[in-house]
Structure 1
């Protein structure tokens, strides 16, 4: 592919910047009727089809954790799930969690004195000054306890790795914090589900929440579609939104997250297909404040650049339309992906990985990619450049500079690359870089107690949010593997405890 055939798409992205108002968003995205007028106490009495203490929307990681904690505190908890089974994106993930100061971290890494404070500072620096500091510090302070809780459910953490480097963070706050088990996400969230069910949580599958019910200014329940029938469910203590973000909703993505919009149009989104922004839309319809949209959880599709600090990137470099490098290729994957996306949209042209045969991409593998039309090859840079429509002289100069730096100093003097610092020799290959999208960043503004805040900055009584449906604790790019599951578990457990205590 030479010139990106995406001119109309990019024009659409630019136009969508004007649609950020919540009213415009709901007009374009709502699929249900507007919420019924509030019952001010003098009208017809509503008939409830079901009643519970804590009503949770979504049976992903955050929702199940909320339900578990609510029932452990003695409250009745009901989880509505649009899909036919539990797990959401959590059970489709890598099943890894960031945590600091744990026994597993001390046992399996050299980081013996890591703290929640350092962990929080690292996240805040990666947030580029945009995060809610209180939320981040609260989340990291609870991280070690969440590992202990999961261990109490029978899980064993057998490996701890670390995020790849980032230029904006102080290395003194870095540590290996990504905790993994041998059973992966399926084993982890099956254990959470089983614990929640044993604790008394009720699950209703194939049940889609459609709107919140408000009486006298307070959220008191929700309407849902179940078996083709609209039902009303009363929540005596509160409603927790745990429906994740806007991952598969193109209209909301167009209005709120151009990067997610691009990814949905041009790549695969691996988030649960039920993540269509339902809870965010319902909360916005009653004044819920949206925040921190724009970032995504992206992984480079072919090189898996910057997956973690323990996995070096192969000898290669990325080039833009002009045959020049533009980003350090082995920074943490979501930051690398953000730079790739920016370059692609800025130049309306694909970006390419340039390499020679190496231990990861052998000549046999690369030749297979060429034969299938997924890569290009040439004996010279000029030959290769002609096939990918980039400037041949610049491409040769980029290769010459790379090889010169590696030969003379063993360092990347241009962009401070840390791994894969080897001379690149022909035959040369190029393949288009793309993304695997793992979901969007952005959701409802919450307090430390998971209460949803309205556009005036006031708490909406009876309404709470957790996991990726909440926002403020993840910034403009995903700060490293295990962050989403930490947020799901932390805010899910906390919301369940807070609401059940009312």
Structure 2
């Protein structure tokens, strides 16, 4: 078996792992990164941007979200279930992290809200070509990879980790494997940053309340199979809250598909019983909406419109847009709708009567007829059920009726490895496992019980910031424990 040595060993070459490697290398450490894929970045290559609070970009635009107000909003949102010191450290560090990335050559298009009720904390990466959108953060990953290599970080691709090595209770390295066989890599600190378990139906089914492919239709970024979490557990780490970064999409359409555009609006939403179940104006917050949908039978819901509403959206524009959907037009919708009609599908339903719509969707006919009749009466006066904003009350009279099926989805997983505010991994007695750190999605249990969409950019933001924290704290640990 071959051997390698370094001061710090990073398991995973995504956003958190690269941030950890750069932070450690900037302090003169020798760093090894083992990445099982053939490229760096992981799920960050699919992302758009990361959280920043009190950045220069915000101040230049008179965005007055402070670290204190962001921290309070975060903790209020989670009802103080989250580790307050970890959350505070992450938020307080976020502005310097944006500047740190800018120094690497990363450009940001703008600090943005996700939806009107959120804060403009989402620092969306400006790609070298094209408008900001999905996968924009791949440009950031390229800059981070270049910076890591410039600092002398050795990145070993196609080299999955097999296990963590311990001696006398302390972590001393890892065993990796590449095309030539196994490698024993020894170091004074190990940082786990493998991106979670979003590509593992087995993990999802076992550790969350969902069954993938049945009542959850989440993104599956290849390779995110919980490897780092399992290795940490095998090394004595305690498990922490595990969940999915829940949103809602039309099943099996890829998420934020053009066909969703006129349906991801404050239209009439019903469940399989044909009944309303929430104030549809809440649709702008994906987490609140998916929470409501997940309570319904079979965890599905239907957004219903008619010709008049569809034509109104085409003529006057949508009621609600966000940064993700702003680049999608109604022309895109019409093209995808025609393709779905031509090829057949199980999410978009078009009918000439309410009875036909009920038959096609599986919605209870009597329930749907009563709900639409009651809803049309509300549109004349006010919503007596949920007090929905009158500007969103649009009667449904046909002659054609349209319904799109929605179900829980997720961008990826959240949590698994218990850490403290220094990103040190803890055992089941909440004692530190010396030399072992975790960052990014593997350890992201701060969004508890829900993803904090009111401060957008949390997943990538926590990944990069916790990675920096882990790299810096690992160096501090080495200085305190191994200096002569």
TM-score band, normalised by the shorter chain?
A: 0.7 to 0.9
Given the alignment of the two structures, is residue 356 of structure 1 paired with residue 306 of structure 2, yes or no?
yes
CA distance in 2, matches of 1:367, 1:87: 35
CA distance in 2, matches of 1:376, 1:51: 60
Match of 1:336 among 289, 292, 301: 289
Alpha-carbon spacing, 1:224–1:304, altered in 2? closer, same or farther (3 Å) = closer
1:276 maps to: 225
Match of 2:55 among 102, 112, 125: 102
Given the alignment of the two structures, is residue 488 of structure 1 paired with residue 441 of structure 2, yes or no?
no
Given the alignment of the two structures, is residue 258 of structure 1 paired with residue 231 of structure 2, yes or no?
no
Give the Å deviation of 1:373. 3.0
Match of 1:74 among 19, 28, 32: 28
Give the Å deviation of 1:352. 2.1
2:407 maps to: 434
Give the Å deviation of 1:276. 0.7
Deviation track 1:319-368 (CA, whole Å, cap 9, x = no partner) reads: 2111012234414213322332332xxx2374322122423667776565
Alpha-carbon spacing, 1:321–1:268, altered in 2? closer, same or farther (3 Å) = closer
Match of 2:120 among 176, 187, 196: 176
1:194 maps to: 146
CA distance in 1, matches of 2:234, 2:336: 51
Q: Is the 8 A contact 1:312 1:420 kept in 2?
A: no
Equivalent position SS for 2:110:
strand
1:84 maps to: 38
Alpha-carbon spacing, 1:79–1:365, altered in 2? closer, same or farther (3 Å) = closer
Q: Is the 8 A contact 2:244 2:412 kept in 1?
A: no
Match of 2:159 among 182, 207, 211: 207
Q: RMSD across aligned C-alpha pairs, in angstroms? A: 2.8
2:418 maps to: 445
Q: Is the 8 A contact 1:139 1:487 kept in 2?
A: yes
Q: Is the 8 A contact 1:316 1:356 kept in 2?
A: no
Alpha-carbon spacing, 1:157–1:364, altered in 2? closer, same or farther (3 Å) = closer
CA distance in 2, matches of 1:363, 1:199: 50
CA distance in 1, matches of 2:335, 2:352: 16
2:100 maps to: 149
CA distance in 1, matches of 2:338, 2:354: 17
Deviation track 1:417-454 (CA, whole Å, cap 9, x = no partner) reads: 69855444421112322355321112211111110000
Deviation track 1:269-298 (CA, whole Å, cap 9, x = no partner) reads: 434311111111011112211112133343
Q: Is the 8 A contact 1:295 1:477 kept in 2?
A: no
CA distance in 1, matches of 2:5, 2:90: 31
Unaligned runs of 5+ in 2: 128-135, 315-329, 479-484
- Which runs of structure 2 are paired with 1:1-400 in the superposition (5 Å)? 49-93=3-47, 95-108=48-61, 111=63, 113-164=64-115, 175-183=119-127, 184-235=136-187, 237-259=188-210, 262-264=211-213, 269-301=218-250, 313-329=264-280, 330-343=283-296, 347-348=297-298, 350-357=300-307, 358=310, 359=313, 366=337, 369-374=340-345, 375-400=348-373
Q: Which moved more, 1:223-232 or 1:471-480?
A: 471-480
Q: Is the 8 A contact 1:54 1:78 kept in 2?
A: yes
CA distance in 2, matches of 1:419, 1:210: 57
CA distance in 2, matches of 1:303, 1:326: 25
Give the Å deviation of 1:77. 0.6
CA distance in 1, matches of 2:108, 2:57: 7
Give the Å deviation of 1:379. 2.8
Given the alignment of the two structures, is residue 461 of structure 1 paired with residue 434 of structure 2, yes or no?
yes
CA distance in 2, matches of 1:155, 1:222: 32
Alpha-carbon spacing, 1:101–1:383, altered in 2? closer, same or farther (3 Å) = same
Deviation track 1:173-206 (CA, whole Å, cap 9, x = no partner) reads: x522111132121111111111111111110000
Match of 2:445 among 464, 469, 472: 472
The total of aligned residue pairs comes to: 435
